[in-house]
Amino acid sequence: MNVNEGTQLSTRIAAIQMTSGPEVIPNLETAGRLIAEATAQGAKLVALPEYFPFIGASDEARFAAREVFGCDAASGPIQDFLSSAAKKHGVWIVGGSLPLDCGDPAKLLNTCLVFDDQGKQIARYDKIHLFAFRKGTEEYNEARTIQPGTSVVAFDSPFGRIGLGICYDLRFPELFRQAGAEKPIDLFILPAAFTETTGKAHWEILLRARAIENLCYVMAPAQGGRHPTGRMTHGNTMIIDPWGEIVARLDKDIGVIVADITPDRIAKVRSNLPALEHAVLLKR
């Protein structure tokens, strides 16, 4: 359903919200149930949140869970799960994020993999911007254990041109504009695990801004609620339209939201406000 090809059919997409724990298998079981729920509601594209296989695992456990990229080589249970679920349900899956081996025993990649409805892996994005935050006793420093990605990723699909980001990437509008430099993006998908502190302050504002700036849909599947380890994530999984209007939202805890995305809506907004054309002219 690429607006650039003039197709006028709508497509139902789904964003999954989880409150993942530190053990992989129970989280995969929850994700599988929610994928089935989404497809039962007619979704053709389903997206999982950042680190859906675990939240709150120790560094040792996260390193132990690293997989070698390439599910065709049976590289690990997480990639196998995503491929099998996509094929089983005949649905495209954006696999939130999972830990991949980066060749450094002290670090890992935080990676989003996309699988088509035949279970074939067709896109990969390694998180570029690594979260750092300190306020009182709350402190995060992803660069300590994560190796940053180096490439912006966008790809064509039956649902339009899709761009990928992960969580903290949301704060860097230049990544989104660069993703659409070759061809405008119809849908950005941003798996996340925003903290409650930063999410309460900025999550909705930033998501709506990225949709407005790029005149496209934004789908943001999130971790939401109090995790078994005590960590609180902001949740508020959303699907936002090209005018910045929230068309579906889930506050906290586990669940699925769905929405229909339509190329007519994208085309109308871009016709009314040709900001992307102006941005291209500004570069020349």
The one-letter amino acid at 238: M
- Assign a CATH topology to domain 10-283: Nitrilase/N-carbamoyl-D-aminoacid amidohydrolase (3.60.110)
- Distance CA(140)–CA(7), nearest Å, equals 44
Q: For CA atoms 191, 135, 23, 41, give the dihedral sign.
A: negative
Taking only the tens place, the pLDDT of each residue in 172-211 is 999 999 999 999 999 999 999 999 999 999 999 999 999 9
Catalytic residue positions?
50, 127, 167
- Distance CA(236)–CA(253), nearest Å, equals 9
Can you give the pLDDT of all 284 residues of the chain as single tens digits? 443 444 468 999 999 999 999 999 999 999 999 999 999 999 999 999 999 999 998 999 999 999 999 855 557 999 999 999 999 999 999 999 999 999 999 999 999 999 999 999 999 999 999 999 999 988 999 999 999 999 999 999 999 999 999 999 999 999 999 999 999 999 999 999 999 999 999 999 999 999 999 999 999 999 999 999 999 999 999 999 999 999 999 999 899 999 999 999 999 999 999 999 998 655 54
- Distance CA(195)–CA(249), nearest Å, equals 17
The one-letter amino acid at 71: C
- Distance CA(205)–CA(238), nearest Å, equals 12
Torsion of CA 36, 42, 48, 49, to 10 degrees: -120
Per the DSSP assignment, residues forming a β-bridge with 17 are 255
Structure tokens at 198: 């930063």
The one-letter amino acid at 282: L
From 44, 56, 70, 65, select the one nearest 18 (Cα to Cα). Answer: 56
Are 262 and 10 in contact by the 8 Å Cβ rule? The answer is: yes
At residue 81, the pLDDT reads 97
- Distance CA(189)–CA(135), nearest Å, equals 28
Look at residue 235 and give its three-state secondary structure. coil
- Distance CA(218)–CA(111), nearest Å, equals 19
Structure tokens at 6: 């003039």
Cα 171 to chain centroid distance, Å, stands at 14
- Distance CA(122)–CA(136), nearest Å, equals 42
Question: CB within 8 A of 243, min separation 6: which ones?
Answer: 211, 212, 269
- Distance CA(255)–CA(28), nearest Å, equals 14
